[in-house]
Structure 1
Amino acid sequence: MPVLSSARYGKDNVRVCKVHRDEATGTHTVTEMIVCCLLEGKIEESYTKADNTPVVATDSMKNTIYIKAKEHPVDPPELYAGILGQHFLDTYSHINVANISVEVKRWTRIAIDGKPHPHSFYRDGDETRNVEARVSRADGIEIRSSLAGLLVLKSTGSQFHGFVRDEFTTLPETWDRILSTEIDATWKWKTIPSLQALRDNIAIFDQAFDNARIITLKTFAEEDSPSVQNTMYKMCDKILEVAPEVASVTYALPNKHYFEIGEFLLLLAPLEMKKLSLMNHVLTRVPTDLSWHKGLENTGKNAEVYAPQSGPNGLIKCEVSRS
């Protein structure tokens, strides 16, 4: 007999923009978010018996997202997510858990003649500040904060050597290379017992985000990285050091490869290989350096022109927790 093991439902991709106007200074602050709300609770019969009695319409959830954004601060997003989640528990007795995710777009104030403009902004890349909150009657408030979509590159200060070499290895060792990645860093907070406890400590969220961003960029830029693995571990360790309320830190870093034009490519070339039954094709190495044109050197210390790669790419992850 089938059993409904788990269920949640709600509204996704609710786009919200709030403008906070400081009447005293005339300065505006813009916060643009994408919000998702998924509810859990005594909703089984809406699935198993087609009984919609316990269903809070997702359109009502959308309206609630807008109303709570009007009634309460949306900065920091951890506070807004907690307020929104607690609302659903307080309003609907059969709802036990509210899962709220908030993605905040990055709008940066424009500087005119060196002075920040009071109400004009520009989109500063694809970086987002994200929050996932699980507000539960039984377990309190669990929050994960993150920094995502921050694309970084450095043209030197990265190594990779000493790795396993066997019959499948063609990658050469290097003591100097371009390193580029798209930062995805998440820090999980220790469980917060109540919405009031969250309100009492809201300053820690902006501070942790600012520290995590500074640590990430500073470590990336300054370290002569022996590997992405070791560099990301150091980032985690430093975030745990400056944010005692954080329980664990996770990084996921894709390696955005930039290859020298002088490197070899594997290409399929037709050959007379009937005797070996290789379907007349074999993998061969074809040099693609620039020496064919007037002796141009573009390898090693003379490399200046690179080919950005879209894939495949390395993907390195880790989670560092308190012992």
Structure 2
Amino acid sequence: MASVSAAQYGKDNIRVYKVHKDEKTGFQTVVEMTVCVLLKGDIETSYTEADNSVVVATDSMKNTVYIMAKQHPVTPPELFGAIVATHFVETYKHIHSAEVKVKVHRWTRLTVDGMPHPHSFFRDGSETRTVEATAIEGNGISIRSAIAGLLVLKSTGSAFHSFYRDEYTTLPDVYDRILSTEVDCGWKWNIFSNINEVESAVPKFDNAWEAARKITLDTFAKEVSPSVQNTLYKMCQQIMAAVPEIAAVDYSLPNKHYFEIDMSWHKGLKNTGKDAEVYAPQSDPNGLIQCTVSR
């Protein structure tokens, strides 16, 4: 006999833009987000018996996100995600879990004539600040904060050698290489009992994001890296030391490879080893290094 062992549904790619207008200064602050809502609960009959009476329409979810954005702060995203998730669990008795993913897109204020412009912004990269907030009936609110899409590169100061070798190995030891990756760094907070605890932690969310970003960039730039694995672990250690309220830190770092181009066939032109200056950026395949460090 077949039965539903797991089910969830929701609304993805809800685009939200909110502007805060400071009447005293005339300055405006903007936030643009992409939100995903996923619900779990007593919804099996919608699959097995075509019983739509247990279905909260995904269009209603979209409308709820817009109304919550109007009625509540959208920053920090941890708070907004927790507010939306808690709303669904508290409003619908047959919904026992709500997961809300918030992706905040970068808008940076323009500087014009040496002064910050009151209402003009530019997109200065594909990096996003992301949050996954899940409210589970009777089990509080779990929150994972993250930095995603932060593309970094160092032209020297990285090595990879003395790795395992067998009959499948062709990669030579490298003592100086280009290191580039697109950072996805997340940190999971200790469980919050309720929305009041989340509200009390509001100042910590921005501070943790700033600390994680600074540690990531500083460590990447300063360390002579023996491997992505070891550099990643050192980043995790530092973030956990800086933010005592988090339970775990995780990284996912894909290698963005740049290969030397042998030009010796053209009049003996040297462009390998210490003479390398021109490289061929590679799209795939690529290495992917992942790790979670917990207390």
TM-score w.r.t. length of structure 1: 0.90
**Alpha-carbon deviation of 1:51?**
1.1
Quick check: which has more Rg, 1 or 2?
Answer: 1
Alignment correspondent of 1:312: 285
Q: Between Structure 1 and Structure 2, which shows a larger proportion of strand residues?
A: 1
Alignment correspondent of 2:276: 303
Q: Compute the RMSD of aligned alpha carbons.
A: 0.9
Question: Which runs of structure 1 show a deviation greater than 4 angstroms over 4 or more consecutive aligned residues?
Answer: none
Alignment correspondent of 2:244: 244
Instruction: Kindly provide the CA deviation profile for residues 100-142 of structure 1, in whole angstroms up to 9, marking residues without a partner as x.
Output: 0011111111112332211111111110100011101121000
**What is the aligned-residue identity percentage?**
64
In structure 2, what residue type is equivalent to 1:8?
Q
Alignment correspondent of 2:58: 58
Alignment correspondent of 2:224: 224
Q: Kindly tell me the number of residue pairs found equivalent between the two proteins.
A: 295
SS in 2 for 1:34: strand
The separation in 1 between residues aligned to 2:73 and 2:56, in whole angstroms, is 24
Alignment correspondent of 1:45: 45
Alignment correspondent of 1:293: 266
Question: What are the equivalent positions in structure 2 for 1:195-274 lying under 5 Å apart?
Answer: 195-261=195-261
TM-score w.r.t. length of structure 2: 0.98
The separation in 1 between residues aligned to 2:76 and 2:204, in whole angstroms, is 10
SS in 2 for 1:126: coil
**Alpha-carbon deviation of 1:90?**
2.1
Instruction: Kindly provide the CA deviation profile for residues 47-87 of structure 1, in whole angstroms up to 9, marking residues without a partner as x.
Output: 11111111111111110000000111000001001111111
**Alpha-carbon deviation of 1:294?**
3.4
The separation in 1 between residues aligned to 2:116 and 2:293, in whole angstroms, is 38
Q: Which moved more, 1:313-322 or 1:111-120?
A: 111-120
**Alpha-carbon deviation of 1:42?**
1.4
Instruction: Kindly provide the CA deviation profile for residues 263-311 of structure 1, in whole angstroms up to 9, marking residues without a partner as x.
Output: xxxxxxxxxxxxxxxxxxxxxxxxxx22233332111111110110111
Are positions 1:127 and 2:127 aligned together?
A: yes
Alignment correspondent of 1:167: 167
In structure 2, what residue type is equivalent to 1:197?
E
**Alpha-carbon deviation of 1:3?**
1.4
Structure 1: give runs of 5+ residues left out of the alignment: 262-288
Structure 2: give runs of 5+ residues left out of the alignment: none
In structure 1, what residue type is equivalent to 2:246?
V
In structure 1, what residue type is equivalent to 2:274?
K
